[in-house]
Copies of this chain bind each other. A is one copy, B any other.
Amino acid sequence: MISLDEKFKALLADHAPGQEVRQDLGDLDTIMRGERLAGTPVDFSHGDVDAFPPTPGSDEVWKEGFNKGGRQAYTEYRGALEIRNGLAVRLGKFTGRPIDADSELIITPGTQGALFLALGATVTDRTKVAVVEPDYFANRKLVKFFGGEIVPIPLHYQRRSQEHGIDLDRLESAFKSGTTAFVFSTPNNPTGLVYSSSTISAIAALAAQYDVTVIVDQLYSRMIYRGEVYAHLRSCSVQPRNLITIMGPSKTESLSGFRLGVAFGESGLIDRMESLQAIVSLRAAGYNQAALKTWFQEPPGWLENRIVEHEAIRDELLSVFRAANLKTATPQAGSYLFPQLPKLCVDLYTFVRLLRHQANATVTPGTEFGPEFTDSIRLNFSQDHAAAVAAAERIVKMVERYSL
C-alpha cells in the first residue's frame, strides 16, 4: 500500500512541460555566465498553435455544435454517437482494421485523458507494466498513481542500426515474468523514433502469446516524414486479446485548446474506460467534440503541407545541433527533438531554468522521460521556423558557456 504522500511525490509536475511559469527563477542571476541572449522567446515545451494554427474551420464547427444546444452539450460519456460513427470509419481506414463505433471507441478529454482512462482500466496495486525509456512522461506517473510497478524497457534511439528500437528479448522476459500490460508511444515521444513494422508485428505476437494488454499511443502517427514507413499495431495479423490504440488532434492538427482524444480497441476495456470517465469528468466537453468532425477531413494538401513545413524545421535544427556536436537522433515522425548535452557545470534542472531565464528558450528536461536522461533535453519544434532556429542557436551558445 502506497501512502498519499508517496503517491503524490511520484506525480510532481514541477518540471512538466507547460508548468515552467510556476518555477522560481530568483537565484539564477548569481550563477549566470555571460550576458543574456536576446531573441524572440520560444517555448519548446509544446507546439506553437499560433505558428501552426488549428485545422481550418474548427472554430466554425464548434459554433455549429454550440448552436445544436442540449444534444451536443450532453452526450453519452463516451461521446456523441454521430461523431463516433464518422470517426470509426476514418480511423478504421487509417489504422487498417474496422472499428465498431458503438462498442469500440471512446472520445476523451485529450490524448492524456485517453491514457489516464486506459491505464486506470488496466493497472491496480502491484500490476507490472512494461514502460519504455525514454517515453512520454505521464506513462510512468500513471502506472505509479494506480499502484502498479514499472518494468523498464530501454529504447535504443540514437542511431539507426540493427539495434534501433526496443530489445524484444527483454520485452519477452518481462512478459514471461508476470508483466500484464505494456504501454508505449510510436512515434516515440521524445525521440521521434518510429517502431519498425517487424518490431510492431513482434510486439503484437508476444502480447498475444503472453496475454499482455497493450496500450499504444499513436498521437503523432499522421506526421510521418518522407521515406519513413509507419506500422499500426491494429493492422497486424496476430492481435493481442486486449489492445487499445490512442490518438488525438492536439499535435499535428493543433486542436490542443479543445482537449480532444480518442481511444479505440477491445470493447470490454472501452466499457471500463467509460465507467471511469463517468467519475473523472463525465465526458469530453460536448461542444468541443464537434471539432472532431474536421479530423481526417482536412482540406486537400493541408496535411502534406504541414508535414513539409515541419520537416524543414527539423532539418535546420538538426544541422544547428550537430554542428555543435550535440548528439541528436533524426526524428522519423512528429515534432520532437531529444538532443544529448555534454557534461555541464550545472545540473540539468538549473541549466533548463537558465535557458529560460537567460536565453528565452523553454525546454523540457530529459528526466521527465526516464530517470536516466539527465543529459538530454526535449524540444517540440512545431514553432515559427525562424524563431526556432534562432532559439536553437542560443541553446548551443548556452551549452558552450556552461560546458565543463
Contacts and interface: CB of A to CB of B under 8 A. Distances in A.
Interface string A246-267: 0000000000111100000000
A284 B54 CA distance: 18
Contacts of A343: none
Contacts of A142: 279
B76 A19 contact: yes
B21 A279 contact: no
A386 interface: no
B72 A282 contact: no
A74 B280 contact: no
A4 interface: yes
B13 A145 contact: no
Interface stretch (A110-118, A189-197, A369-377): A110-118
A209 interface: no
A2 B125 CA distance: 8
A86 interface: no
A281 B259 contact: yes
A154 interface: no
A158 interface: no
Interface string A322-349: 0000000000000000000000000000
Given A74-B256, A74-B257, A112-B281, 13 more contacts: A1-B124, A18-B74, A18-B76, A18-B282, A19-B278, A22-B76, A46-B74, A49-B69, A73-B256, A73-B257, A113-B281, A138-B278, A138-B279
Contacts of A74: 18, 46, 49, 256-257
B4 A124 contact: yes
A241 B63 CA distance: 44
Q: What copy number does this chain have within its complex?
A: 2
A112 B257 contact: no
A285 interface: yes
B63 A59 contact: yes
A257 B125 contact: no
A259 B258 CA distance: 11
8 contacts: A1-B126, A11-B275, A13-B275, A19-B76, A116-B279, A141-B279, A281-B281, A285-B285
Interface in A144-192: 145
B59 A110 contact: no
Contact of A283 (B1, B2, B259): B259
B7 A124 contact: yes
A365 B272 CA distance: 21
A286 B272 contact: no
B280 A112 contact: yes
A396 interface: no
A286 B274 contact: no
A289 to B, nearest CB: 9
A21 B76 contact: yes
Contacts of A50: 69-70
A99 to B, nearest CB: 18
A173 B5 CA distance: 27
Contacts of A16: 77, 278
A39 interface: no
Interface string A1-39: 111100110011100101101100000000000000000
Given A12-B275, A59-B66, A74-B46, A282 B257 contact: no
